[in-house]
Every structure is written in C-alpha cells, then in structure tokens.
Amino acid sequence: MQIFSNMPMKSTYKLIFLFSLNLFSLEIQADNKISLTPEEQRYIQDNPVITYSVEPHNYPIESINASGIHTGLTRNYINLLSEITGIKFQLVPSENYVESYSNLKSGKVKLLTSTSEDYPKANGLISTIPFFSAWPTMVKRSKSTYLYTPDDINEGYVSISDNLSLINWFKEQYPNITYKIMKSPATAIESVAKGNAAAAIVLAPHATYNVNLLYQGVLKISRPSGKKIPLVMSTKPEDKILVDILNKVITSISAQKQNDLASKWIIPIDDVKKNNELIKLISFSALFILFIMLIYTIRNIRKLKSELHSIADKNTLEISVMSHELRTPLIGILTACEDLSNKISVTAHKDRLLNVIHVTKSLLDNLDLSLDYAKINAKQVQTNPHPHNLSDICDTTVKLFASFAEKHKTKIKVSYLSPEFFMPHLIDSQLISQALNNIVNNAIKHTRSGIVLIECSVVRVDDRDKFSIEITDTGVGIPAETLEKLSEPYYQGQQPTSNESENYIPKGTGLGLFVAKKNIHLIGGNLVIFSKQGIGSRVKIVFPIMPAHYAIQERFPNHLLIIMPEGTAQADIDDIKDLLNPWGVVPRVQSFSTVTEEHALFMQPNFNNTLWILSNRNNEQRKLSNAPIYASEFFQAILSLTNSHRDENQITPVTNTKDCVKLPLPEGTRLLIVEDEPLLRAVQSEMFTSMGFIVDAAADAQSAYKSWIQYQHPMIITDCRLDNSDGFELVLHLRKLMQNNSESVLIIGQSASLKDDDYMRAKEVGMNHIMRKPVSVKTWHSLIIEHFGNRSA
C-alpha cells in the first residue's frame, strides 16, 4: 500500500475523513427511559456486569484498537445500553471472531455485539432486533467491469467477508460464481487490490472506509440491487431476559438518534461521491499552489546543494590527504621510540619515552578516525559480509584493550548469553570490529577503577532474531543535554576540570561514536546510548542475523561434561561456568579416575598455574592461557578435542530416508519444495514426508505461487537458480504476499554453488537461511526443530 501513500488525493481525503470523525466524536447522551419488569430488574441485580466480545477486525462497525479499546459503532450502542439500564459492560478481547464465538459458547462472555441476522439462527443462539442495517456492496479494481454471471470472472474468485447473511444473499444473487470466505472485510478488499480476487462483497461501511481511505483511485464501489443486511446482538438462549432488555433499549432509541450514532462512523456512498467532487476541487487548487512553490524551492535547493557538495568534497579530500601524510611519519616515530625504550636503562628517561609512545598512539587513533570519517563522507564505505564468528571479534576487542583497561585500574569482561555468537554468520567483521573498538575505547577512557562489561545476546525485534551487543561501563556518565548530540561528528562532552592526573580524561576527536553509529547503520542495525551522570553509560548495538550454516563443519557436542579436579578454587569454577553458560553446561568437580561418561573433557592447571590444560580420553591436549581464558579459544579447543576422530567436512547427501526421524511437528504441517531437478525434488519430498511434513512440490515459480496462496505453508525450501526463473525473485514476491500473515514463515534457499553476493541477496529478499547443496539430514533437523520449537513456545 506504500505505493499509494504519496498520492495527494488520497492524503487529502484521509485528513478530511479523520477530521470529520474527530469533529463528530462527541458522546450522544441518552434521554430514554424504559420500563422493566420485576424479572428483568432481578436479572440486572444478579448480573451487574455483562461480559462481551466483538469482531476485532470489523471497523468501522466495531474493532479493538492498538491500545486494546473497543471502538466503532457498537461501542456507542454499548455506552447507551449501559447508561439506560445501569448495567456495566466489560470487554473480553479476542484475536478473531472464532475466538469471540468460542468465548460465548464457553461462558466467558454473555454477548456478541455484532453478528449477521442468520448467524444466531444457524448456531443455536438468540438475537436482538436489528440495531443497524447496511447495503451489500461490490468492490472492484477501477478499470474492471462488474460481475453478473460466472463468465464475467476471467481469473480468480470473489472474496466475501465472513458474514452469514451476506454470504446467503450472494449465493441467491450470483448463483454458480466461485467465492472464498475471508476472515475480515479488510482482507477481502485487500485480495482485490493485490489482484488475487476478481471482486469483493462486503457491507457498505467497510467498503467506503477501506476503499476511500486506503485504496482511493485503485478500487471502486458499486451497490448491487437487493435488500439491506441487518446486524444484531447475539447471546445464548438461557440469557433471553438480557435480549428482552436490550430490545427495549434499541426500540426506545429514536430514528434521529440512530442516524446520529451511525453518522459518527458510517459515511454513505452517496456522500462519499459528493465529498470526492469537493475534494478534487480543493486538491487541484492546493496542488497548483504547491507546484509553484515546489519549483521555486527546488531551484534554491539545487543551488545550495551544489555549493555544499563542492565545500564538502574539498574538505573531505583535504582531511584524507592530510591524515595519510601525517600517519606515515608518526608510525616511524612510534617504531623508533618503542625500539629505543628497550635500550634505555635510566628510569626517568624511560618514563618520558613511554609518555611519548602513549601520546603518539593517541594521535594515530585520532588520525584513523579522521580517515574513517572522510571515507564515510565520500560514501566510500561498503559492506563486505563473510562467514565469521562474532565471539572472535568480541574476544579480540577485549585482548586489544586489556592493557589500556589495566592502566585505568578497570576490569574489562565479555559475557556470552547465546551460542549463536560461536556459529558462522554472514557479517562485515571489519565494520563491526571498528564500531566495537570505538565504543569500548570510549568506555575505558571515561572509567576509573571500575568495570566495562560487553554482554552478547540474541533479542527478538519485529518478529526476527537479531544480535545484540551491550557495552556497559561504571564511568563518569553523560549529562542528558550532551547525550542527544554525542553521536554527531566532532562533538565532545565537557571534560572534567580536575587537575588530578588520575581523573584526567584524554581529549579525542569526537568521531568515535559517530563512526560506530554509521558502521552499524551500514549493516542494517541500530546504535542507542543510555547514560546517567555519576553512574555510567550503556551503548547497545543491534543488527540482523544471517546464518552461514553451510560453513558449519563441527557443532558443539551434546551431553558434554567438563571435569575439574578436586580442590579447584571456586573462583576458577565460576569462570569456567560463565564460559560454558551459552550451552547450559555446568563444570563438575570430580576425581578424574572415577569418570565413566564418554563425552567428558578433563580440565586442570599446569604445575605453576599459568595455563589450563584441556584433554580428552585419548590424552589429546589443548593449552589455554589463564590470563584470562577467552570463550572463542575455549570453544575451538572443545571442538577440536570432541571432533578429532570424526570427519564432518564431507556432508553426505540423502539418498534414502532411513536416517530421517519423525519430528515433533504440529499435525498437518505443510512444506513447499521448489526444485526444478526432478530427481532431487522426488528425494527431498520423500525425506521431508518421512519427517512428518505434508509436502507440496513445485518445479517452477508460477506453481510455487499458486501452491503457497492455496496452503499458506509455514516452511518453504527453494532452489536459488531455477531453470526458467530466479529463486531470489520468487522469495521477494512471496514475502510481499506474506505481509499480513501473522505466522512467521521459514524460507531456506539452497544451491549447488554460491557466490559472494548471494548471501546479501538472500538477506535482502527475506530468506532466513541460504545453504550449499547437499545439506545433511542433521542440519535439516536442527533448523526445523529450532523454528517450530520457537513457534510453539
């Protein structure tokens, strides 16, 4: 729908429509008095609160807004009913009308506020007299003719909103025309806009709201001949007294008051046509004035832009050249000073030389940031994703700044909360590393005798898993007025005025956070800063996950045991426990000679406690530094010892289904396979069927579209390079069709050969994974269990 968002006509109409709703949104007060029988009065006393449910996607008749509030025409009727009878009505929210009906049948609610007249008759319910009636309307694309016979449908079907009276009316008026019942009026109309349905049959209020507000100029409305469709309130037979009370109230409302109630929400089709003529005249005049102003503004903007570009290009070139020219001699000075410091024995001279080295390194860092800034301004920074483990990047940052943190008497630590950081993912390691280094450098620089913690986790954002790296420090913090400007280039917060050397904070360029934020934006992520003066700061970067599963050769072993010798210090046990936390493994303290488990690794310090020695039952060993142990090195050591006698580099394709086990899938789960190679299509169909899927196989993109529209598969596997079409294009169009689908769909691309840009294309079109053929059964099991396990959770 975004393609229509810039249309002036539609925007103007939307403003006028919303203004009119607000203009007439005053509450209509009840002045009716009704006479209740003693039995009815007792019913109200016994039932002072009546629970009810609505159709949550039935606007403007009724709906539940984003805040969970009942809105629409029936809300005003509920207010009137409450005011006249003294009954309090309490909404029980629901996701759809099926859930609303279920609430009524189970006794959670006593009333459905809007149903068709035929619905209660067909479901053993009773209903009130009609409180509102509306014409059935037909919605078509603007350039299409209306339907009268089955021959008028060239392709598709007629979509009808789920209103039993409307459906029965349609079958009488248009016998033998193919139709499909949609879950709401909005989805029925949307199916026409997308070209799936030839026409939509909905009630007039739904047509005028959706077409004129959302699809103006794209769809048109017609009112076929026929009777109006009444709407009623429904309940169970045992609540007949409630129906009698409601009927008395509805009967007492005058025709004028009913019109006033309806006019707040319902715009008649005839009024829409008149409004459109007025809107066209107003819009044309406004557009003409705006056009003249736009021409004048564009001319001035072009002139100003040209001047700014010329200044910016000149400044960027000057910074880049100057930084490069300064960097070369500074490296020479640094190298000479470091060499000289090893030869000087006089302590005072050596300290001075170390100060020179420190200042020179700071100058180099500032020059590097200036070069980065120049590249960003010149738009020379491009992403280059490759399979990489994020744990390697984070641990490298900790190693790089360990000595810097030690000088500040600050402890730097990294904590991993997800095993995903140890798996290969398609990332630009250079951009992420540069951003992380700049953030950590700032954190340590402003922290004295404190802690800098790097916390790595996976978070759920917009129904997708993303990497999150949070850098928290216990430093001086940032004032609120400074925080908003901190990521601007060259901006620096006010430095402390203390002359004490240990409180002095070295002045930088003010480019670190700016470069970090730009880098994270380039990889599709975000950077946010939280800080409180005197307490510390927290910088959080979040960016997309793109697994490179084809590169996984070894996985973390199941049922792993890490055995530590008796007498191991508790602090050492806690450190190892933190390292193993992403996999849920807890180290065990036990005598090595008593261990019987097969998947056990033994961990003990060397004779002078400078190294940890990790070994397996075959006495193969890996040595790990004890100052401190880094998670990425620990992970690789475990893999090398547990996979030393297994060759998993060669992935064997599946030629039969004996290795496939039935997975715990929801009953009736369908899978769509798109593969143009007949043999592989047949083999994979058999394999996934044995796992418990109902498999639909397609040989080309067109067949895949039709199959998905019919079955809405929760999982799709497609070849990236089909004979007559492109798998990436197929996924791009499928994702567009899925925009209003509430369930997440797992899409996996596969190909016999993958190029570097295939990974970025997969990410752009919406593939969850891309893998090189052949794919092992174990990998399929892992991906399927992970996806459907998250859905059930």
**Residue-level pLDDT at 524:** 84
261: closest CA among 270, 250, 271? Answer: 250
- The sign of the dihedral angle between the CA atoms of 77, 83, 84, 90 is positive
Place of tokens 């917060």: 493
Q: Find all residues with CB under 8 Å of 297, minimum gap 6, and list them.
A: none
* 301 Cβ neighbours under 8 A, 6+ residues apart: none
Neighbours of 121 (CB within 10 A): 14
Whether 733 shows a pLDDT value over 50: the answer reads yes
Residue 428 corresponds to which tokens in the numbers above?
């630009």
Which residue, 667, 670, 680, is CA-closest to 709? 670
Query: Is residue 68 scored above 90 in pLDDT?
Result: no
Q: Confidence class of residue 331 from pLDDT cuts 50, 70 and 90?
A: low
- DSSP letters, 573-619, are HHHHHHHHGGGT---EE--GGG---SSEEEEEE-TTSSEEEEE-TT-
- To which residue do tokens 């009777």 refer? 227
Q: What angle do CA 698, 703, 706 make, to 5 degrees?
A: 120
pLDDT recorded at residue 45 = 92
Q: Encoding tokens for residue 255?
A: 């025709």
Confidence band of 494 (pLDDT split at 50, 70, 90):
low
Strand partners, 427: 386
**Residue 416 · residue 629 · CB < 8 Å:** no
Distance CA 454, CA 538 (A): 10
pLDDT of residue 6: 39
pLDDT-based confidence at residue 538 (cuts at 50, 70, 90):
very high
Q: According to the model, what pLDDT value does residue 516 have?
A: 84
pLDDT score at 656:
44
What is the C-alpha separation between 782 and 776, in angstroms, rounded?
10
Is residue 320 within 8 Å of 374, Cβ to Cβ? Answer: yes
Answer with the residue of higher pLDDT: 663 or 190. Answer: 190
**Pairing label, strands 136-141, 199-203:** antiparallel
**Distinct helix (H) and strand (E) counts, the chain:** 23, 31
The answer to whether 355 touches 338, Cβ cutoff 8 Å, is: no
Residue 463 or 467, more confident: 467
What is the model's pLDDT at position 16?
43
At residue 7 the predicted structure's pLDDT band, cuts being 50, 70 and 90, is very low
Q: Rounded to an integer, what distance in angstroms lies between the CA atom of residue 480 and that of residue 488? A: 15
Q: Which of 88-97, 660-669, 680-689 has the highest mean pLDDT?
A: 88-97
pLDDT tier for residue 659 given thresholds of 50, 70 and 90:
low
Nearest CA among 768, 747, 776, 759 for reference residue 387: 759
| Residue in this structure with the two tokens 């037979």, named with its chain if needed | 237
pLDDT at 32: 56
Least confident of 380-384, 456-460, 656-660: 656-660
Quick one: pLDDT at residue 147? 64
Rounded Cα distance, 136 and 147, in Å: 14
pLDDT confidence tier of residue 364, bands split at 50, 70 and 90: low
Residue 224 pLDDT > 70: no
The radius of gyration of the chain's CA atoms, rounded to the nearest angstrom, is: 34
User: Does the pLDDT at position 389 exceed 70?
Assistant: yes
% of the chain residues with pLDDT over 90: 18
Task: Indicate whether 730 pLDDT > 70.
Answer: yes
Model pLDDT for residues 273-328, shown as the tens digit of each residue = 555 555 566 766 777 787 787 787 777 777 776 666 566 555 555 555 555 556 55
Q: Give the pLDDT of residue 416.
A: 92
Element holding 131 (H helix, E strand): none
Kindly write down the DSSP assignment for every residue of 33-59, as one continuous string: -----HHHHHHHHH-SEEEEE--TEET
Between residues 295 and 378, the one the model is more confident about: 295
d(CA 647, CA 54): 60
Residue 682 confidence class, pLDDT cut points 50, 70, 90: confident
Residue 11's pLDDT is 46
Where does the pLDDT of residue 42 fall: very low under 50, low under 70, confident under 90, or very high at 90 and above? very high
**Residue 378: what pLDDT?**
55
- Cα separation, 515 vs 433, in Å, equals 12
Q: Determine the pLDDT at residue 630.
A: 87
| HSE-up (13 A, CA, CB side) for residue 645 | 6
**Mean of the per-residue pLDDT values for the chain?**
78
Residue 319 has what pLDDT? 55
CB 141 within 8 A of CB 102: no
Q: Which two tokens stand for residue 75?
A: 């809300």
| pLDDT (0 to 100) of residue 716 | 95
Res. 232: pLDDT tops 50: yes
How far apart (Å, rounded) are the C-alpha atoms in residues 757 and 770? 12
When pLDDT is cut at 50, 70 and 90, the band that residue 507 belongs to is: low
**Would you place residue 1 in the very low, low, confident or very high pLDDT band (cuts 50, 70, 90)?**
very low
233 has a pLDDT exceeding 70: yes
Average pLDDT over residues 761-776: 83
CA distance 419 to 400: 23
- Say if residue 228's pLDDT is above 50: yes
Could you tell me which of 305, 271, 200, 264 has the C-alpha nearest to residue 72? 264
What is the pLDDT at residue 154?
A: 61
At 372 the pLDDT is 60
At 153 the pLDDT is: 67
Per 3-state DSSP, the chain is made up of helix, strand and coil in percentages (nearest 5) of 45, 20, 35
Per-residue pLDDT for 382 more than 70?
no
Residue 380 has pLDDT above 50, yes or no: yes
Q: Average pLDDT of 565-582?
A: 87
Looking at the predicted structure, is the pLDDT value of residue 645 above 70? Answer: no
Structure token digits, residue 108: 């959670």
Q: What is the pLDDT of residues 474-490, one digit of tens each?
A: 988 888 777 766 656 54
Cβ neighbours around 316 below 10 Å, total? 18
- Residues 4-29 have a mean pLDDT of 42
**Gap between the Cα atoms of 21 and 61, Å rounded:** 14
Which residues have CB under 8 Å from 596's CB, separation 6+?
Answer: none
The amino acid present at 89, given as its one-letter code, is: F
* Percent of the chain predicted with pLDDT > 70: 75
297's tokens = 């503004």
Confidence category of residue 149, pLDDT binned at 50, 70, 90: low
SS3 assignment for 278-307: HHHHHHHHHHHHHHHHHHHHHHHHHHHHHH
Q: Which of 630, 629, 591 is nearest to 611 (CA)?
A: 629
Predicted pLDDT at 650: 39
- Judged against a pLDDT cut of 60, whether residue 607 lies above it is answered with yes
Give the mean pLDDT of 681-688: 87
Residue from 165, 292, 147 nearest 220 by CA: 147
Would the pLDDT of 657 be above 50?
no
Dig out the tokens for 157 from the structure: 């079907």
CB of 328 closer than 8 Å to CB of 371: no
- pLDDT at site 511: 65
Q: How confident is the model at residue 426 (pLDDT cuts 50, 70, 90)?
A: confident
What does the DSSP assignment read for 539-556? EEEEEE--B-GGG----P
Q: What is the pLDDT of residue 430?
A: 81
Give the model's confidence band at 510: pLDDT under 50 very low, under 70 low, under 90 confident, else very high.
Answer: low
Considering Cα of 9, then 14, then 15, then 17, what sign does the dihedral take? Answer: positive
- Helical ranges in 446-548 per DSSP H: 480-483, 512-522
Mean pLDDT value across residues 753-763: 77
Q: Which residue has the higher pLDDT, 345 or 673?
A: 673
Q: How high is the pLDDT of residue 234? A: 95
